[in-house]
């Protein structure tokens, strides 16, 4: 099969206004590398556990130190590629990052494009809104954080400013920065 490029939309579930990214990835990208593209495009560090849910089945990276892996319902995606799961425009899957905060994402294959030699892949082509800080408590915790940051008199205002700084801008998004990070990781 001829190598193609997938235009993928990644939407953080429950975010209002929506936090999303559009990326271009080779169709034959390994699932672990696709996981890295998602976390880096969104703005996460990639230090937490993750899983994909596709057609009612759960896929993840096998942890060699997990003594209970064989008793779990996870399927090891170690040798699997994105093209095994997404074959036509409109195909969907879910992705969860950080089981504590529960950052869930809707993933949609928007377009299948021809592979262009000399083009850098993966590549972020669009997006909206800043990524919530990791470990802020999921969508609900993020909403509380944003509320506190609006009011310097809020009892948790100083805590959040000390944690993420005064410069955090929830509407900010810079695709050039995302592409620099993707390029540095050499996925």
Is the predicted pLDDT of residue 36 greater than 80, yes or no?
Answer: yes
pLDDT recorded at residue 187: 84
Weakest-pLDDT range from 52-61, 72-81, 98-107: 72-81
Q: How far apart are CA 94 and CA 13, in angstroms?
A: 10
Tokens of 78: 């170690």
Whether this prediction's pTM lies above 0.85 is answered by yes
> CATH second-level architecture of 4-129+173-185?
Roll (3.10)
pLDDT recorded at residue 73: 79
Domain ranges of the chain: 4-129+173-185, 131-170
Assign residue 163 a region (left: φ > 0; alpha: ψ between -120 and 50; beta: otherwise): alpha
Q: pLDDT tens-digit profile of 87-99?
A: 999 999 999 999 9
Is the predicted pLDDT of residue 3 greater than 90, yes or no?
Answer: no
The b-or-e profile of 81-90 (16+ CB within 10 A means b, else e) is: bbbebbeeee
Q: How far apart are CA 40 and CA 57, in angstroms?
A: 24
pLDDT recorded at residue 152: 92
Q: pLDDT tens-digit profile of 155-176?
A: 999 999 999 988 889 999 999 9
pLDDT recorded at residue 68: 58
> 130 burial class (0-12, 13-18, 19+ CB within 10 angstroms)?
middle
CB 112 within 8 A of CB 5: yes
Q: How far apart are CA 108 and CA 55, in angstroms?
A: 13
């Amino acid at each position: 099969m001829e190598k193609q490029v997938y235009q993928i939309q990644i939407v953080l579930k429950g975010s209002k206004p929506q936090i999303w990214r559009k990326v271009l990835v080779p169709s034959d990208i390994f699932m672990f590398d696709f996981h890295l593209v998602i976390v880096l495009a969104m703005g996460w560090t990639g230090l937490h556990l993750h899983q994909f849910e596709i057609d009612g089945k759960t896929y993840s990276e096998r942890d060699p130190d997990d003594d209970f892996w064989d008793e779990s319902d996870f399927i090891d995606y170690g040798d699997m590629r994105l093209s095994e799961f997404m074959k036509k425009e409109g195909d969907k899957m879910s992705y969860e990052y950080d089981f504590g905060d529960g950052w869930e994402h809707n993933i949609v294959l928007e377009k299948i494009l021809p592979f262009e030699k000399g083009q850098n892949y993966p590549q972020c082509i669009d997006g909206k809104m800043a990524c919530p800080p990791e470990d802020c408590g999921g969508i609900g915790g993020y909403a509380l954080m944003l509320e506190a940051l609006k009011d310097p008199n809020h009892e948790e205002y100083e805590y959040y400013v000390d944690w993420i700084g005064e410069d955090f801008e929830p509407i900010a998004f810079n695709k050039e920065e995302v592409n620099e990070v993707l390029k540095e990781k050499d996925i």
